[in-house]
Amino acid sequence: MSSSPGRFTVGQAVRVKASYPPGHRRTPFYIRGKRGTIERICGSFPNPEELAYGFDGEPKRVLYRVRFPQKEVWPDYRGAERDLLELEIYEHWLDPA
């Protein structure tokens, strides 16, 4: 898993692309444009955006778990400052931040 040939490393700051293409996407709308850090590298997986339309999902994409402070995701978040949200984002949805 750690030998994943990804662009990003654990702890690196990233921003989710604020992009809104049509079609099947695994990047929830609420997280687009938000800034977080790489929590772990999950490995490479067939691209779900291709699989959804009957293609083979190649080339595979590197999948990361990205950690976001809740206050970054929801500026009016009312829970504790230290609360976090973690989700899985494919490499092609991430930019260095």
Partner 1 sequence: MTHGHHHPPATGPEFDSGPPSEHEILSRAMQELLEERGVITAEQVRARMEKFEQDFPYRGQRVIAHAWVDPAFREKLLEDGKAACAEFGIDLEADKLIAVENTPEVHNVVVCTLCSCYPRALLGMPPTWYKSENYRKRVVREPRAVLREFGTVIPDHVSVRVHDSNADMRYVVIPMRPAGTEGWSEERLAALLTRDALVGVTVPKLTA
State the Cα–Cα distance between residues 72 and 95, nearest whole angstrom: 16
Nearer to partner 1, 78 or 96 (CB): 78
Nearer to partner 1, 12 or 70 (CB): 70
Q: Which tokens in the block code for residue 58? A: 């190649």
Residue 29 Cβ vs partner 1, minimum distance, rounded to whole Å: 9
Residue 61 Cβ vs partner 1, minimum distance, rounded to whole Å: 10
Which residue, chain included where needed, has tokens 């929590």?
39
Positions in the binding site for partner 1 (CB under 8 A): 26-28, 30, 42-43, 45, 48, 63, 65, 70, 73-74, 77-80, 82-90
Task: Concatenate the DSSP letters of all residues of 23-86 into one string.
Answer: S--SS-GGGTT-EEEEEEEEEEE--HHHHTTTS--PSPEEEEEEEEEHHHH-TT--S-TT-EEE
Nearer to partner 1, 12 or 46 (CB): 46
Residue 23 Cβ vs partner 1, minimum distance, rounded to whole Å: 14
